[in-house]
Amino acid sequence: MRSLLALGDEGFSFLVVPGGGPMADLVRQIHSRGDLSQEAAHWMAILAMEQYAYFLADGTGVALTREIRPPQDEGSLEILLPYQALLEDDSGMEHNWDYTSDAVAALIAAQLSAPLIKATDVDGVIIDGRVAKELPASILLGRESCIDQGTVRLLCGRLKGMKVMVLNGTDIDRFIKSLREGIAGTIITG
């Protein structure tokens, strides 16, 4: 987070939509045993995103927000606490494991007319053993990749025209260089 904060001096502003991290993995595990309904699992996974937001912000000075809006100040970074906002309006997102934090981030980016940058642990979308530079979302329908199927369906449907930039976030220097230069691992077009 501190590295992203440093980009504020260059005019970059970010509203980070956190993933669910290990907390969501635990919810998925409990659900897979049959001990939890799909509806409860959905909202618990959204709460896991909120818990992960606190983890990401811890000790960084990054502001947390419950409002779906661009960061208040130019060149600032905020992390969304999504639970309350999504309770009020989850944009009709299906409540199943096809719609994860990726879909939440896509819906929020669309609501803000903002670009969506997905930080992940791979260099982009891998097709036939190679990282694709750009591809239409329709190619990913029914195919396992670093982006969830709910997001793929949204990009093929009501979010048609939106673009998602997929970047490897595990190497922060490379991630920041990609942001500065506008170079993506993969651009997925809706």
Average pLDDT over residues 15-38: 95
The number of C-alpha atoms within 13 Å of 186 and in the hemisphere containing its C-beta is 25
Q: Which of 154, 128, 121, 140 is nearest to 187 (CA)?
A: 140
Q: How is residue 110 written in tokens?
A: 């669309």
Contacts of 31 (CB under 8 A, 6+ apart): 38, 41, 97
pLDDT tens-digit series, residues 108-164:
999 999 999 999 999 999 999 999 999 999 999 999 999 999 999 999 999 999 999
Helix (H, G, I), strand (E, B) or coil at 52: helix
Per-residue confidence (pLDDT) for residue 173, from 0 to 100: 87
Q: Tokens 């093929």 appear where?
A: 156
Q: Where are the domains of the chain?
A: 1-114, 115-190
Rounded-to-integer distance, Cα 186 and Cα 124, Å: 5
Q: How does pLDDT run across 56-103, given as a tens digit for each residue?
A: 999 988 999 999 999 888 788 999 999 999 999 888 899 999 999 999
